[in-house]
Amino acid sequence: MSCHGGFSLEEVTRRSWFNPEKILEDAGLRPGMVFADVGSGDGFFTILAAEVVGDKGMVYAVDTNPAAIEALRRKSNMKRLINVKALVAEAEETVFCQGCVDIVFYSIVLHDFRNPVKVLENAKQMLKPSGRLVDLDWKKKRTIHGPPVSIRFSEEKAQQLIEGAGFKIERVNDAGRDHYVIVGTL
To 10 degrees, the CA torsion angle through 35, 176, 72, 113? Answer: 80
Average of per-residue pLDDT across 153-169: 97
Domain map (residue ranges) of the chain: 19-185
At 123, is the secondary structure helix, strand, or coil? helix
- DSSP summary character for residue 114: S
Report which secondary-structure segment, H or E, holds 68: helix 66-78
In 3-state terms the chain splits into helix, strand, coil percentages (rounded to 5) of 40, 25, 35
Evaluate if pTM is beyond 0.95.
Answer: no
Q: Is the pLDDT of residue 7 over 90?
A: no
Q: What per-residue confidence (pLDDT) applies to 26?
A: 96
Could you tell me whether strands 179-185 and 168-174 are parallel, antiparallel, or unpaired per DSSP bridges? antiparallel
Q: With beta carbons less than 8 A apart as the criterion, state whether 171 and 155 touch.
A: no
Rounded CA-CA distance 107/183 in Å is 12
Rounded CA-CA distance 113/180 in Å is 18
What is the rounded end-to-end Cα distance, in angstroms, of the chain?
41
Q: What per-residue confidence (pLDDT) applies to 10?
A: 63
Domain 19-185 adopts which CATH fold? Rossmann fold (3.40.50)
Q: What per-residue confidence (pLDDT) applies to 11?
A: 60
Q: What per-residue confidence (pLDDT) applies to 4?
A: 43
Q: Provide DSSP, 13-65.
A: HHHHH--HHHHHHHTT--TT-EEEEET-TTTHHHHHHHHHH-TTSEEEEEES-
Q: What per-residue confidence (pLDDT) applies to 145?
A: 86
Q: What per-residue confidence (pLDDT) applies to 14?
A: 67
Give pLDDT tens digits for 52-102: 999 999 999 999 999 999 999 999 999 999 999 999 999 999 999 999 999
Q: Is the pLDDT of residue 9 over 90?
A: no
Give pLDDT tens digits for 89-147: 999 999 999 999 999 999 999 999 999 999 999 999 999 999 999 999 999 999 988 89
